[in-house]
Amino acid sequence: MEKHSRIYVAGHRGLVGSAIVRHLRAHGFDRLILRTHAELDLTRQVAVDAFFAEEKPEYVFMAAALVGGIMANNTRRADFIRENLLVQTHSIDAAWREGCRKLLFLGSSCIYPKLAPQPIPEDALLTGPLEPTNEPYAVAKIAGLKMAEAYRSQYGFDAISVMPTNLYGPGDNFDLHSSHVLPALLRKFHEARVGGEPSVSIWGSGAPLREFLHVDDMAAACVFVMQNYSAQEIVNVGSGEEISIGDLARLIAEVVGYQGRIEFDSSKPDGSMRKLIDSSRLRALGWTPAIDLREGLVRTYEWFLASGSASGERVAVLE
């Protein structure tokens, strides 16, 4: 990938896509090809074919997907499997036919079996049943990485796949109902500070361990593998740092400046006790994350405040 290569970032308004665009621009890549959903509907094959025939991108970052929290994944099961299968199938195929030199497919750590060993190595793929709530999404993602694998073995297409851990950072979804644990906590503590609430209650015991990676690190890793890795095996992208939900809550409270009490509601479910992926393959290639969790949270909170995400559909009542 060179500074003047034609690079298509699919999903450039999403959390990862926008971070990839920031990273590429910051490193002097100046021929980025970007299309909003309104300009190009990737579920429509005719439109996708016409786009690839016209632009002939040399490199493709496949960061477009229908994503959501547990609720959305569980209730819109058909949407999640259809949209994701259509988007990735049309894009990967058109990219190959129009002479793309390399494609990076973005998966998710939810492709791994529910009861996979921790930390989860890449070869845990397809060794057991998936978490049922987001199975349609996971199955679509597995189909995507298998398609990349098959196009490599049959057509020699240089398609690679990465599986990120939990990501956070600028561009995240801070909606209290549909967001992931980290942005939800950040918003919760922000509102508690602004509202002067004496305590914040967290679901569960606070004991479960989770792994988080700043999305700017994820973008750097994507560009790194695009330039340094060409093989069939998928690659996990994680920070390798585990933190308990309790410690995460305390860290976020500190970053946000909330000084009230933090209470853990153990009557609420904890979810799985540990979720960590094994990123030793990526480490062996020579890539390590650069943003530690505290610094990443500070940046994310600054973005949260500056972007207007703090408002969303926010109603303030002045009494």
Partner 1 sequence: MVGKTLRGILPGVLYLTRKDCDLEDGAAVRRLFADLRPSAVVHLAALVGGIQDNVSRPWDYMIRNTLINAHVVQSAVETGVEYFLGLSSTCAYPGTVLEYPMTEDQLHLGPPAMENLPYGYSKRLLGVSLDAASRQCGLKSAVLYPCNLYGPHDSFDGHRSHLVAALIRKVWNARRDGLAELPMLGTGRPLRQFMLAGDLARAIAGFLEGRIPGHFNVATPENLTVDAIADTVQRVMGFNVPRRYSGDLDGQYRKDASSDRLLAVLPDFTFTPLAEGVKQTYEWYLQNS
CB 84 within 8 A of CB 40: no
Question: Quick one: 132 or 312, whose CB is closer to partner 1?
Answer: 312
Q: How is residue 42 written in tokens?
A: 């990737």
Binding mask 173-212 for partner 1 (x = CB under 8 A): ---x--------------x--xxx----------------
Q: Which of 223, 214, 221 is nearest to 287 (CA)?
A: 221
- Shortest separation between residue 190's beta carbon and partner 1, angstroms: 9
Q: For partner 1, which stretch binds (CB under 8 A), given 117-125, 201-209, 277-285, 311-319?
A: 311-319
Residue pointed to by tokens 């920070």: 239
Strand partners, 166: 212
- Going 74 to 103 to 153 to 56, the CA torsion angle's sign is positive
- Shortest separation between residue 238's beta carbon and partner 1, angstroms: 33
Strands 59-62 and 102-106: parallel
CB 222 within 8 A of CB 16: yes
Question: Quick one: 28 or 308, whose CB is closer to partner 1?
Answer: 308
Taking the alpha carbons at both ends of the chain, their separation in whole angstroms is 57
Q: Does 257 bind partner 1 (CB under 8 A)?
A: no
137 is catalytic: yes
- Shortest separation between residue 195's beta carbon and partner 1, angstroms: 6
CB 13 within 8 A of CB 36: yes
Q: How is residue 193 written in tokens?
A: 């500070």
Size of the site for partner 1 (CB under 8 A): 17
Catalytic residue among 137, 151, 168, 258: 137
Question: Quick one: 39 or 319, whose CB is closer to partner 1?
Answer: 319
Q: How is residue 134 written in tokens?
A: 């987001």
Distance CA 262, CA 264 (A): 7
Question: Quick one: 46 or 315, whose CB is closer to partner 1?
Answer: 315
- Going 114 to 117 to 118 to 119, the CA torsion angle's sign is negative
Question: Quick one: 152 or 187, whose CB is closer to partner 1?
Answer: 187
Binding mask 126-165 for partner 1 (x = CB under 8 A): ----------------------------------------
Residue pointed to by tokens 């060179």: 2
Q: Which of residues 280-309 bind partner 1 (CB under 8 A)?
A: 305, 308
Active site residues: 137
Binding site for partner 1 (CB under 8 A): 176, 191, 194-196, 305, 308, 310-319
